[in-house]
Amino acid sequence: MTETTDEEETEPRWWSERWWSVMESIGVSRRLERGKRYARAERVLSIEVEPGRVVAEIQGSRYEPHRVEIAFEPLTKEQWADAVRALASQALFSAKLLSGEMPENIEEAFASVGLSLFPAAPSDLEMSCSCADEVVPCKHIIATHFVLADKLDGDPFLLFGWRGMTRDQILRRLRQYRAAEASGRIVDGDGNRPLEESVRDYWKMGESFDTVSFAVGPPAVNASLIKRLGVPPIWKPHPEIRGSLERLYAKVTERAMALAYSGRGSGERD
């Protein structure tokens, strides 16, 4: 991983460096003069980052602007699920993303599940332009790259959008993941005040305690989770398991209800 030095404030951030290294590999150098010129001349009328592609309109010499499209295959749902799981493994990722930063070792997280956030090979990017120029990349494409690189420098999360998810979506999924983990096993640091600092409130229930009430009752529809999700793939060869599961869920309700409303309600003392 490349490190940027703190002294050079104008120097692009790590992800910009990383992006330019991709650009170089497809022959777009940031020192390319016509690219700079084009970008600077504000010939790029619009640029939009969408899942799977970046679309830009470039004012060429003709009246009709040229349309540039840079396609980059978005991650599939399954791939995103893997990526989010990898990101959820460290609270640091959530923290950085929340504060608007692109976590530096995010590529490692993606790599750990066999994915890449950035283009791994030049061929990952498919570029086209409506101009008649035979050369690829044409100057319009190059201009688009320059503007895109600039945009990415300011908002690295556009890269997420390009790959199919916005930063907010990722954050929300991370939160959901944490919610699932709240019922599961992953630990998260917050609320973990050292006991030494809690001596004064050592026996005190938090105020939120009184807000919690319970609705111990049967579900509206039996085994609705199984009905919604279907059975896990591993049980596909065993169609009888679905019925067993439905009976099991019903039994759990029956037993939980029996326990929940058993015993003394109001105090007869013995």
Per CB under 8 A, contacts with other proteins among 176-215 are 176-177, 179-185, 187-193, 195-196, 198-209, 211-215
Size of residue set near other proteins by CB under 8 A: 93
**Smallest separation, CB 241 to other proteins (Å):** 6
Residues 42-71 that bind other proteins (CB under 8 A): 50-51
* Under 8 Å between Cβ of 127 and 70: yes
Does residue 239 interact with other proteins by CB under 8 A? no
Does residue 248 interact with other proteins by CB under 8 A? yes
Nearer to other proteins, 37 or 172 (CB): 172
**Smallest separation, CB 31 to other proteins (Å):** 36
Nearer to other proteins, 9 or 210 (CB): 210
Selected binder of other proteins within 72, 78, 96, 121 (CB under 8 A): 78
**Smallest separation, CB 4 to other proteins (Å):** 32
Does residue 166 interact with other proteins by CB under 8 A? yes
Nearer to other proteins, 37 or 77 (CB): 77
Residues 89-148 that bind other proteins (CB under 8 A): none
**Smallest separation, CB 83 to other proteins (Å):** 12
Q: What is the DSSP string of the chain?
A: -----SS-TTSPPHHHHHHHHHHHHTT--TT-HHHHHHHHTT-EEEEEEETTEEEEEE--SSSSPEEEEEEEPPPPHHHHHHHHHHHHT-HHHHHHHHTT---TTHHHHHHHTT--SS-SSGGGEEEEESS---SSS-HHHHHHHHHHHHHHHH-TTHHHHHTT--HHHHHHHHHHHHHHHHHSS----TT---GGGGGGGTTPPPGGGGG--------SSTTHHHHHH-S-GGGTT-THHHHHHHHHHHHHHHHHHHHHT-S-SS----
Nearer to other proteins, 154 or 219 (CB): 219
Residues 6-45 that bind other proteins (CB under 8 A): none
